[in-house]
């Protein structure tokens, strides 16, 4: 039989028959319990019928609308237990708001990093805090210049007692705005928390200085609550924010802004940054268990200044030293794990040497060998290296190399791009090739060339494509094509091809770029162009140079006419900002022969990667020149002819299997000197079978003596 109990505790069977209650303790409890009319649950649905009595009594206590101890005791007694099941604990006293939402920076002053080189800013903040009214300051500066470090320096001074009597015994408490707003589901909870913080700060009678990092986040949350306390001078605050955020948020609320005295936190100089890192050196050495040499600190500052743009000192230099130390420690640990029996910790640390240039290379993407190479040697050899690639333009190459040399030596106008040039000349004379060569020599890769075809920038609206659309315009979030690429690759050569075809409004953008070395994009961000080379190409006046080439007039007179043509088209303020106007002369037959050599060597190098050797005769070069020469188009027809004829023929031979690794292809002129023929020799068995001759104009192999010594038959490159 299933034993259950009715509401009054009597035993009933599964048919509902009442057997009474044999439990004396339960009867005694019922006699002391409220009557059914006054019981915690006066009505019980009849449908409950018979349920376990534990369920009924708990429901009875719960349905009464109160879980008071008396009701719980009554329910427990019905279950045969005496005494209260539990007692309601008294509410805990609320913790001080400053402890919950703040961090005592003064108490932690001994554990923070030392603050070096910011005494003048800290003195200015102390002066503001000691005022009778409006005794609050806001630290304004670029990200990474050390605004939070100034607040930590203030806390360290107070902890050391090195402050005026007005601040003696005060505490600097950092208000965590994230903690203030966390978990605020009901309306008014944030305001209530801010009100409690303000009240506790006021009750401290000036002994609490609130530090609010990212102060602009307080706007719209608790700024209005702070205004009365700040106006009365009952609390002291030190805020911190960036220039952009201060202008965008704080300056809009003039009533809030005027209660703070703005304190500018400038970016430290290179010398000051070295001193800051010297002060932090011991902390880094203890944390990473490494030794940091003074030369490494100087190198980190120098490399960060040159290669890491868009960030400020001392933050970027600290990151370089910190990451270099971390990599050194990791490499030393790996040495110990891999060679436990052969390496001591000291030996492993000696082998795990990481230079700052490796870290800077990871930050910027510039190869380590480019940073390590002596720049003086690179600059002195720049002209010679450029002439190896750019043929027949010795004067133009020297002008560019000399201008770059002056800029890198610091003798040109500071704050401008490394160089800005206007290349004038006919097509195919090496203007674009020189830009590519500069990118390779100065920045170690042709990929560092950013190219714009200015025929696409026609119309006044095209300026927005370069620097980005302003707010509320379509494409605002995408940024400008020019500014975004330079932000990603600050060390690059920027080529504006056919600049004369661009809209005149575009040149207004170039004025700021060439003069100040910076551009402001549509979002108001400043993009640094000081580590770029600006090259603009144009065909203006090319006809005068071609006439001089054919003997119509002297080359010097043609140059003057080209300059006059440029002065007619471009405004004086634009031309006056350029480093050099470089004129490229048409290429002679001898120049084009060298170009053909250079182009053919490129083909030879690509096939050498596949294990195929190429030999080219002088007669073959003569055929290339005679078939591709066009004085109007310069060197470009040579490249197109080689692609169409030589590269296509060699590709067919590769696909057909006529050439493979360890074979030599001899390229010679045909008998009529109008085409090329190709002879394949297998280097693995040169004497077991005659070499295969493949002619582009004939399938016959009878027009060449295969037994004649190659050295006597041809003059090879």
Q: Where in the chain are the domains?
A: 97-264, 270-364, 373-583, 589-682
Q: What whole-number distance in Å separates Cα of residue 394 and Cα of residue 584?
A: 9
Q: What whole-number distance in Å separates Cα of residue 4 and Cα of residue 18?
A: 10
Q: Using alpha carbons only, how large is the chain's radius of gyration in Å?
A: 42
Residues 6+ apart with CB under 8 A from 125: 137, 139, 150, 154, 238, 263
What is the chain's mean pLDDT, rounded? 80
Give whichever of 27-31, 70-74, 538-542 has the largest mean pLDDT.
Answer: 538-542
Give whichever of 238-242, 352-356, 475-479, 506-510 has the largest mean pLDDT.
Answer: 238-242
Helix ranges (H only) for 353-414 are: 356-364, 368-372, 375-380, 382-387, 394-408
Among all chains, which residue has been given the structure tokens 């601040």? 167
What torsion, rounded to 10 degrees, do the Cα atoms 365, 367, 373, 377 define?
-80
Identify whether 278 is preceded by a cis peptide bond (ω within 30 of 0).
no
Lowest-confidence pick of 195-209, 454-468, 572-586, 702-716? 702-716
Q: Over 90: is that where the pLDDT of 208 sits? A: yes
Q: Over 50: is that where the pLDDT of 531 sits? A: yes
Confidence of residue 558 (pLDDT cuts 50, 70, 90): very high
Judged by DSSP in three states, 528 sits in strand
Ramachandran angles phi, psi of 188, nearest 5°: 95, -5
pLDDT, mean of residues 334-353: 59
What pLDDT, on the 0 to 100 scale, is given for residue 616? 92
Angle, alpha carbons 11-15-18 (nearest 5°): 30
What pLDDT, on the 0 to 100 scale, is given for residue 279? 94
Q: If you classify domain 270-364 with CATH, what class do you get?
A: alpha beta
What pLDDT, on the 0 to 100 scale, is given for residue 241? 96
Share in percent of the chain as helix, strand, coil (round to 5)? 50, 15, 40
Top pLDDT among 51 and 359 is at 359
Residue 275 CA neighbour count, 13 Å, CB half = 10
Q: What whole-number distance in Å separates Cα of residue 84 and Cα of residue 565?
A: 105
What pLDDT, on the 0 to 100 scale, is given for residue 183? 83
What pLDDT, on the 0 to 100 scale, is given for residue 552? 65
Q: What whole-number distance in Å separates Cα of residue 483 and Cα of residue 461?
A: 16
What pLDDT, on the 0 to 100 scale, is given for residue 671? 87
Top pLDDT among 539 and 361 is at 539
Ramachandran angles phi, psi of 650, nearest 5°: -65, -35
What pLDDT, on the 0 to 100 scale, is given for residue 297? 92
**Residue 538: beta bridge partners?**
424
User: What is the percentage of the chain residues whose pLDDT exceeds 70?
Assistant: 77
Nearest to 386 by CA among 426, 437, 348: 437
DSSP 553: S
Contact status, residue 364 vs residue 307, Cβ threshold 8 Å: yes
Q: What whole-number distance in Å separates Cα of residue 540 and Cα of residue 547?
A: 14
- The helix (run of H) or strand (run of E) holding residue 236 is strand 236-241
Burial string for 566-590 (b: 16+ CB within 10 Å, else e) reads beeebeeebeebbbebbbbbbbeee
Intrachain domains 97-264 and 589-682 with the same fold: no
- Tell me which fold the domain 373-583 belongs to: Rossmann fold (3.40.50)
What pLDDT, on the 0 to 100 scale, is given for residue 310? 77
What pLDDT, on the 0 to 100 scale, is given for residue 468? 87
Judged by DSSP in three states, 703 sits in coil
pLDDT tens per residue, range 488-521 = 888 899 999 999 999 888 888 899 899 989 998 8
**Residue 676 tokens, joined:** 């090329």
Confidence of residue 381 (pLDDT cuts 50, 70, 90): confident
What pLDDT, on the 0 to 100 scale, is given for residue 236? 95
pLDDT, mean of residues 648-656: 91
Among all chains, which residue has been given the structure tokens 């004379």? 429
What pLDDT, on the 0 to 100 scale, is given for residue 485? 92
What pLDDT, on the 0 to 100 scale, is given for residue 130? 95
Judged by DSSP in three states, 250 sits in helix
Contact status, residue 463 vs residue 506, Cβ threshold 8 Å: yes
120-to-115, 125, 127, 292 alpha-carbon distances in Å: 12, 9, 11, 28
Q: Which CATH architecture has domain 589-682?
A: Orthogonal Bundle (1.10)
Residues 6+ apart with CB under 8 A from 597: 621, 717
Helix ranges (H only) for 175-314 are: 177-181, 189-203, 223-232, 243-245, 254-257, 270-288, 294-307
Q: Over 80: is that where the pLDDT of 374 sits? A: no
Judged by DSSP in three states, 407 sits in helix
**Residue 450: beta bridge partners?**
494
Q: What whole-number distance in Å separates Cα of residue 164 and Cα of residue 147?
A: 22
Q: What whole-number distance in Å separates Cα of residue 301 and Cα of residue 314?
A: 9
- Tell me which fold the domain 97-264 belongs to: Rossmann fold (3.40.50)
Residue 693 CA neighbour count, 13 Å, CB half = 18
Lowest-confidence pick of 6-10, 106-110, 153-157? 6-10
């Amino acid at each position: 039989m299933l034993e259950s109990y009715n509401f009054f505790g009597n035993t009933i069977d599964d048919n509902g028959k009442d057997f009474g209650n044999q439990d004396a303790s339960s009867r005694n409890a019922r006699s002391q319990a409220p009557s059914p009319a006054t019981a915690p649950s006066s009505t019980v649905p009849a449908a409950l019928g018979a349920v376990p009595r534990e369920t009924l009594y708990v429901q009875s206590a719960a349905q009464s609308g109160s879980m008071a101890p008396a009701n719980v005791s009554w329910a427990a007694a019905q279950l045969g237990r005496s005494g209260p099941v539990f007692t309601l604990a008294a509410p805990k006293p609320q913790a001080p708001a400053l402890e919950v939402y703040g961090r005592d920076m003064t108490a932690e002053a001994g554990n923070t990093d030392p603050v070096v080189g910011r005494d003048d800013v800290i003195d200015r903040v102390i002066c503001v805090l000691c005022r009778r009214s409006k005794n609050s300051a806001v630290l304004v500066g670029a990200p990474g210049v050390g605004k939070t470090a100034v607040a930590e320096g203030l806390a360290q001074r107070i902890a050391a007692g090195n402050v005026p009597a007005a601040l003696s015994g005060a505490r600097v408490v950092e208000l965590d705005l994230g903690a203030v707003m966390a978990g605020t589901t009901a309306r008014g909870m944030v305001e209530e928390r801010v009100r409690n913080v303000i009240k506790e700060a006021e009750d401290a009678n000036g002994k609490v200085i609130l530090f609010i990092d990212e102060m602009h986040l307080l706007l719209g949350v608790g700024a209005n609550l702070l205004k009365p306390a700040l106006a009365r001078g009952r609390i002291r605050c030190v805020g911190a924010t960036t220039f952009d955020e201060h202008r965008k948020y704080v300056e809009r609320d003039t009533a809030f802004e005027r209660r703070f005295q703005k304190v500018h936190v400038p970016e430290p100089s290179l010398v000051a940054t070295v001193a800051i890192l010297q002060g932090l050196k011991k902390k880094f050495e203890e944390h990473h268990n490494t030794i940091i040499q003074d030369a490494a600190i100087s190198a980190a500052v120098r490399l960060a200044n040159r290669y890491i743009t868009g960030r400020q000192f001392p933050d970027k230099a600290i990151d370089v030293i910190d990451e270099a130390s971390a990599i050194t420690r990791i490499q030393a640990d790996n040495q110990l794990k891999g060679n436990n029996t052969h390496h001591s910790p000291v030996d492993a640390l000696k082998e795990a040497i990481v230079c700052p240039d490796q870290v800077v290379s990871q930050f910027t993407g510039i190869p380590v060998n480019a940073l390590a190479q002596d720049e003086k040697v690179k600059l002195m050899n720049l002209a010679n290296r450029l002439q190896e690639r750019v043929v027949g333009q010795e004067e133009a190459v020297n002008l560019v190399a000399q201008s770059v040399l002056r800029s890198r030596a610091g003798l040109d106008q500071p704050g401008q791009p490394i160089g800005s040039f206007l290349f004038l000349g006919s097509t195919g004379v090496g203007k674009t090739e020189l830009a590519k060569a500069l990118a390779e020599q100065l920045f170690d890769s042709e990929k560092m060339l950013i190219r714009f075809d200015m025929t696409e920038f026609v119309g006044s609206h095209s300026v927005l494509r370069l620097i980005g659309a302003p707010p509320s315009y379509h494409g605002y979030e995408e940024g400008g094509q020019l500014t975004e690429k330079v932000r990603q690759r600050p060390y690059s050569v920027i080529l504006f091809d056919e600049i004369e075809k661009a809209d005149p409004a575009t040149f207004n953008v170039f004025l700021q770029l060439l003069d100040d070395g910076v551009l402001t994009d549509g979002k108001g961000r400043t993009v640094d162009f000081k580590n770029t080379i600006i090259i603009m190409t144009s065909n203006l006046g090319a006809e005068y140079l071609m006439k001089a080439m054919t003997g119509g007039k002297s080359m010097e007179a043609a140059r003057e006419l080209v300059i006059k043509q440029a002065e007619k088209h471009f405004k004086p303020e634009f031309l006056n900002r350029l480093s050099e106007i470089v004129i490229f002369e048409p290429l002679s037959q001898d120049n084009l022969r060298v170009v053909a050599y250079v182009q053919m060597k490129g083909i030879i190098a690509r096939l050498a990667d596949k294990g195929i050797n190429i030999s080219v005769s002088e007669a073959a070069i003569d055929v290339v020149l005679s078939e591709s020469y066009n004085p109007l188009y310069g060197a470009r027809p040579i490249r197109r002819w080689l692609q169409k004829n030589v590269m296509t023929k060699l590709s067919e031979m590769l696909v057909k299997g006529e050439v493979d690794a360890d074979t030599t292809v001899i390229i010679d002129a045909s008998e009529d000197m109008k085409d090329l023929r190709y002879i394949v020799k297998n280097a693995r068995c040169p004497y077991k079978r005659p070499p295969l001759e493949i002619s582009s104009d004939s399938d016959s192999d009878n027009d060449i003596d295969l037994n004649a010594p190659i050295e006597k038959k041809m003059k090879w490159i």
